[in-house]
Amino acid sequence: MMSSSSFKEIPAMAYPRTLVSIVASAGGLAVFLLIASSLLISGPIGSTFSSYFYGVVDHTEKDDLLSSGDGSGNRDAFEAFRSNLTIRNNSDSGDAVVESQIGEMKPGDSRNMRGQEKVVNVTNNAEKGSTNVQKNNTNGANLTDSVNTDCDLYAGKWVYDSTGPLYTNSSCPVLTQMQNCQGNGRPDKEYENWRWKPAQCNLPQFDAMKFLELMSGKTLAFVGDSVARNQMESLLCILWQVEVPKNRGNKKMQRYYFRSTSTMIVRIWSSWLVHQTPEPFDFAPTGVDKLHLDLPDERFMEFVPNFDVIVLSSGHWFAKKSVYILNNEIVGGQLWWPDKSRQMKVNNVDAFGISVETIVTAMLKHPNYTGLTILRSFSPDHYEGGAWNTGGSCTGKEKPAVDKDLVENGFTNIMHEKQVAGFNKAIKKQTNKSKAILMDITKAFSYRHDGHPGPYRSPDPNKITKRGPDGRPPPQDCLHWCMPGPVDTWNELVFEILRREFVAKKSNPS
């Protein structure tokens, strides 16, 4: 054992050398951290950093009916967004605050880039005129405002709003490049300036700060196909104007956390919303998707009790090759029915209706779910003159259709009919304390043939955007929606539904 006198025998330079080595080590670590931080901030390095900003998605996810590109557009969008930001330190909280140089709007400004709104009253659903221009000085409804819960939100018309959208393609880093119509070179912008006006009331413009306040401590989940992703990204773009969220995604879901109000926005991929498997079943071989129409998709059902609001989206994948199973029996198929001697009992339209009844019933009977389910009705596509792969086109549409020019889509109409019927059947089976609402946008959005990317699906400067010498249109997307664009209205409708449910019902509990 060393005595106290032993310390005197240690050379005098030992302490300084030890101190120097500690300082040197700390300094080296600091330099390393600074260099690493600089590299991470300057650009994405590998999939880990990319997934931080763009969400971690299961790579087995079949994310689009159409080709979705290599995803490089998201990185380009983030770089463009980052170049327009200044980060300053908030001395009060020590937190980094992001200031946008794109306009006068700053985080916390509840105008959401709109300011005073000018509304042009129109007739025939979408026709600009010189009649009666009104100034609306409100910035969206207050959470405590009275709510007209009897007003039908889905019967109305499109009105022109010259103040423009709630965000721009350059002010949101998370939108999918295929829906970045302006970034992909679309020359017109008027499609961004139409707002939905219910016939008997006003649909308040979206107020991001008030939305986060309303959803304080809650989680909203978008579950479904690539159109669900389209709507989720629209909501994120709107909210991004007031707060940059923390990405907490993983391989099972995308998750964006807004710290100011502890609000979580989630997306989970589910092509058909019912159980699916590629495994062989009876006379259906391996490879083709088998859909158990009477079983919900278990991949997201396990998370349902954690959600306060669920927005469901499906329908378009029922045009894809698949086998339909009901009560453990193959009853039909889409683009697949090898034995013509067997009678097909269920076609793709009927299968969609059954799947809707199944998933909504699962929500309304889940023993641990007390939230609100919003079933967004079938989103119409606008492939005129053919299907997406047979020459259908929406090229050249620059404003909403008027009644006399509206092209009826028989497939959209029957899909909507089956969806509504399935929803109504499910409502009668409810056993829990949750609630389901049909957000019926199909008719209103049948007028918005102008709101799709069309041929402007990528930033490729050499892409073909005009019809060829034989009159055939170029490849295009007339299913998903430009961002910003009409899809933002879906989230204004969601906000109004939530106001009615969370605010009006508290004020009038009867």
338-378 pLDDT per residue, tens: 988 899 999 999 999 999 999 999 999 999 999 999 999 99
Sign of CA dihedral 283, 285, 291, 295: positive
* Structural element, H or E, at residue 89: strand 85-89
- What's the one-letter identity of residue 377? S
Among 40-44, 272-276, 338-342, top mean pLDDT goes to 272-276
Helix (H, G, I), strand (E, B) or coil at 340: coil
**d(C-alpha 286, C-alpha 279), whole Å:** 5
Kindly report the CA angle at 321 between 318 and 326, in degrees rounded to 5?
65
- Active site includes 477? yes
Where is pLDDT greater, at 34 or 500? 500
pLDDT tens-digit readout, 151-170? 999 999 999 999 999 999 99
pLDDT tens-digit readout, 444-499? 999 999 999 999 999 999 999 998 888 889 999 999 999 999 999 999 999 999 99
- Active site includes 480? yes
Q: What is the token pair recorded at 434? A: 């949750």
- Find, among 57, 377, 68, 64, the residue nearest to 225 by Cα: 64
Helix (H, G, I), strand (E, B) or coil at 284: strand
pLDDT tens-digit readout, 56-86? 334 344 445 554 333 333 434 334 333 333 3
- Beta-ladder partners of 246: 257
| pLDDT-above-90 percentage for the chain | 63
Q: What is the token pair recorded at 153? A: 């939100």
Q: How long is the chain?
A: 510
- Cβ–Cβ < 8 Å for 177, 69: yes
For residue 232, count other CB atoms closer than 10 A to its CB: 26
Instruction: Please give the pLDDT value at position 505.
Output: 66
pTM flag (> 0.85): no
**d(C-alpha 295, C-alpha 274), whole Å:** 6
HEC letters along 248-300: CCCCCCEEEEECCCCEEEEEEECCCCEEEECCCECCECCCCCEEEEEEECHHH
- Cβ–Cβ < 8 Å for 58, 64: no
**d(C-alpha 342, C-alpha 55), whole Å:** 45
**d(C-alpha 174, C-alpha 32), whole Å:** 30
- Find, among 385, 388, 443, the residue nearest to 419 by Cα: 443
Sign of CA dihedral 215, 210, 182, 88: negative
Q: Which of 64, 308, 477, 488 is an active site residue? A: 477
For residue 35, count other CB atoms closer than 10 A to its CB: 10
HEC letters along 300-336: HHCCHHHCCEEEEECCHHHHCCEEEEECCEEEEEECC
Q: Which of 226, 270, 355, 458 is an active site residue? A: 226
If you write DSSP's letter for every residue of 406-457 in order, what string do you get? ----HHHHHHHHHHHHHHHHHHTT--SS-EEEEE--HHHHTT-TTSS-BT--
Q: Which of 289, 292, 480, 488 is an active site residue? A: 480
